[in-house]
Amino acid sequence: MGLGRPRAFDTEETLGKALVVFQRKGYEGSSIAELTEAMGINPPSLYAAFGSKEELFRKALERYVGIREDFSREAFSAPNAREVVERLLRGTADQLTDPQSPPGCLLVQGALSCGDAAEPIKEELCFRRVAEEVALRHRLERAVEEGDLPRHINVAGLARYIATVSQGMAVQAAGTATRKDLHAVVDAVMQGWPT
């Protein structure tokens, strides 16, 4: 099993460092030189452990998405749709402005637009964003069946609306918005909640 020289670095730890860089500079904006420096390793170690820049990004993305899924699962467990959405948005506001990581969301900032080389990454991120929206829609559909959302409501539209606010908050966080600013946005959303 443990044949040959052992790795001098912890892959999970260095992956975390790479994630930070990707989150701050995006896929295209992060160079191998910058990544390796942040990870504390040399290029050949990076390629041996992660395959390529694209694979490295995908692995970082997987971790990032995993964290978000844990969080949404928790939010989805709220007793009614209103509570689900508020938990989701408040948690997003907090996460987007977490002082321990660059402001913003990898799903939005990773590669919103890019050159041809990064197109697959852009599409992957787009797919992940849609997946989150779909997950919310399913939760809202359940809410309709459980009676805490009126039947006449456009559930798909509502889910897309919440996803849109969430993504807009990511843009805001990438700019100058503070945590307090984002919560003020959530206030506005919740004030207009249906019923």
Residues in contact with a second copy by the rule CB under 8 A: 23-26, 28-31, 34, 104, 108-110, 112-115, 118, 126, 129-130, 154, 156-158, 160-161, 163-172, 174-177, 181, 184-185, 187-189, 191-194
Joined together, the tokens standing for residue 124 give 């992957």
d(CA 182, CA 168): 10
DSSP secondary structure string, 27-39? HHH--HHHHHHHH
Least separation in angstroms between CB 17 and a second copy: 17
| 115 or 192: CB nearest DNA | 115
Helix residue ranges, H only, 81-154 = 81-96, 106-109, 119-145
d(CA 190, CA 169): 15
The secondary element (H helix, E strand) that includes residue 179 is helix 179-191
Judged by beta carbon distances under 5 to 8 A according to partner kind, the member of a second copy, DNA, none in contact with residue 67 is none
What mask, x for binding DNA by CB under 7 A, covers residues 118 to 157? ----------------------------------------
| Interface with DNA (CB under 7 A), residue from 13, 37, 48, 130 | 48
Measured distance between the N- and C-terminal CA atoms of the chain, rounded to whole angstroms: 61
| Interface with DNA (CB under 7 A), residue from 15, 16, 45, 168 | 45
Q: Say whether 176 sits in a helix, a strand or coil.
A: coil
Are the CB atoms for 140 and 159 separated by under 8 Å? Answer: yes
Least separation in angstroms between CB 113 and a second copy: 4
Least separation in angstroms between CB 61 and a second copy: 14
| Interface with DNA (CB under 7 A), residue from 12, 44, 70, 192 | 44
